Structure 1
Amino acid sequence: MRRLSPYFLVNFKSYEETAGDDGLAFIETIERVSEATDTRFAVAPQLPDLRWIAERTSLPVVAQAAIPRSDAGMGDATIEAVADAGAAAVFVTHPGLEVGFESVGPRIARCRDLGLESIVWVADRETARAALSFDPDCLLYERPSDVASEAGMVRTDPERIERFVEFVADESPRTSVFVGGGVRTAEDVERAFACGVDATGAASAAVEATDREGWLRSIAAAVPD
């Protein structure tokens, strides 16, 4: 993904409300807010929709999961396929897709070969240090227990995020930091960026918002220029 920092990612996961035409309509809303507010948004559509979404939006598109073709079996999404479909980045791992570190390195390398940004989930400094040995583009710092919760680190322990950002800057200055888990409001977004992260995002909060456009505009106001 072209370097957009700071940016906000809307992750569609597998919600019924984000599939097919409903997903495209949501992306059109995100794009409208992005253009009106000059805010950097990215989207992670459902994988079956990735190509036709990428063809219809100017927003950077992130693949929720993919593996090298050399490791793929029936039904797997490959890094090569999502690159061809128009993805700009790939979640190499995330809390719902834990991968042994023996597989992380080759996946990051294949993303690099194809010009895709690699995003690797880590829950603590120990796993971050292991991930950084493979030179990923971005670390997703997230505690699994924070996902879709009301008690994410941005609320309960922002100092921990600040320390993590400093750690990554010391270990690998070129690697960006994305904080996730429990980000629900504009105030959460402000707190995240105040900790020095390069990006943050949400899934359930975005999908469940009664007034999605109003929610997105509040988020846009909290993302730094």
Structure 2
Amino acid sequence: MFVINCKNYEEIAGDNIIKFIKIAEKVSKKFNVKIAIAPPQHLIGLVSNSSIPILAQHIDVSKVGSTTGFIIPELLKKSKVKGSLINHSEHRISSDEIKKLVIKLKELKMLSIVCVKDVAEAKKYAKLNPDYIAIEPPELIGSGKAVSKERPELIKKAADAIKNATKTKLLCGAGIVSGQDVAKAKELGSKGILVASGIVKAKDWNAIMSEFAKSMV
């Protein structure tokens, strides 16, 4: 799994998100790699009919109906969104909310990607059996310093921590900026990557996506 979190980067604003998605579709098909993209929340409707999975960057514990300003999983599904990031380091939520949201996404048969900052959290939330646990040390996010190089033992320990989860797979994030970083993460036990600025802020989206995808196969 190759997940790209677009955050709220200006590079992806307006119609640029459509160009970005089209490139990802071509790269995914060319290398036969599953790419999923989490656009800014307000742009989801522009790209939800994509041939690759579209994810939300965040969802809320709230209900369908008289609720204002919340991101509701049931409505996302009706808009063809395939799942969501949960508890990203830039949008942390309580453990109780994480549990409720993982359960809700399971009920809806949507993908759940729980973001964690360390091995202790990986072990804790793996018990919920989300589809993915994404480990990202906050200090390395956006730093250009890959966790696979700076703290390789973290990936190994996280992979070991979730091995008893029945279906949860590990994603590696934070500072991944090259195909070498991707290959190293896989070597250490990661089943995929969660990236953001390393892709979105690159000058040539096709080239960098292709480099990452090629390293995954």
TM-score under structure 1 length normalisation: 0.90
Aligned partner (choices 104, 112, 119) of residue 118 of structure 1: 112
Which residue pairs with 1:77 in the alignment? 71
Is the 8 Å Cα contact of residues 123 and 158 (structure 2) preserved in structure 1? no
- Write the distance in 2 (CA, Å) between the matches of 1:134 and 1:68: 16
Residue in structure 1 matched with residue 83 of structure 2 by the alignment = 89
CA distance in 2 between counterparts of 1:133 and 1:190 reads 27
Question: Which residue in the other structure is 1:178 paired with?
Answer: 171
Query: What's the CA shift for 1:36?
Result: 2.3
Counterparts of 1:168 and 1:131, CA distance in 2: 9
Cα 1:135–1:33, aligned 2, differ >3 Å: closer, same or farther?
A: closer
Instruction: Classify the secondary structure of the residue corresponding to 1:20.
Output: coil
Structure 2 partner of 1:106: 100
| Counterpart in the other structure of 2:16 | 22
Q: Distance in 2 between matches of 1:129 and 1:202?
A: 22
Pairing of 1:159-174 with structure 2 (within 5 A)? 159-169=153-163, 171-174=164-167
Which runs of 5 or more structure 1 residues have no equivalent in the other structure? 1-6
SS at match of 1:210: coil
Between stretches 152-161 and 104-113, larger displacement belongs to: 152-161
Q: Distance in 2 between matches of 1:211 and 1:133?
A: 39
Task: Give the letter for the 1:219 counterpart.
Answer: F
The answer to whether the 8 A contact 1:67-1:92 is kept is no
* Corresponding position of 1:42: 36
Letter in 2 for 1:77: I
Deviations 1:148-188 (A, max 9, x none): 1122321112122112102211x314111111101111111
SS at match of 2:190: coil
Question: For residue 64 of structure 1, what is the aligned residue in structure 2?
Answer: 57
Partner deviation per Cα, 1:113-169 (whole Å, 9 max, x = no partner): 111111111112222232123232211111111111122321112122112102211
Q: Cα RMSD (Å) of the superposition?
A: 1.7
2:188 pairs with one of 195, 199, 212: 195
Task: Note if contact 1:193-1:199 (Cα within 8 Å) is conserved in structure 2.
Answer: yes
> How far apart are 1:97 and its partner, in Å?
1.1
Q: Is this contact kept in 2: 1:121–1:140, CA < 8 A?
A: yes
The total of aligned residue pairs comes to 216
Counterpart secondary structure, 1:136: coil
CA distance in 1, matches of 2:13, 2:52: 17
How far apart are the structure 1 equivalents of 2:61 and 2:204? 39
TM (normalized to structure 2)?
0.93
Matched, 1:207 2:200: yes
User: What SS is found at the alignment partner of 1:182?
Assistant: coil
Identity of aligned residues (%): 24
Q: Deviations over 1:8-58 (max 9, x none)?
A: 112111011212311011111111222222222111111112133011x10
Is residue 2:27 matched to residue 1:33?
Answer: yes
Aligned-partner Cα distance in 1 for 2:211–2:150: 21
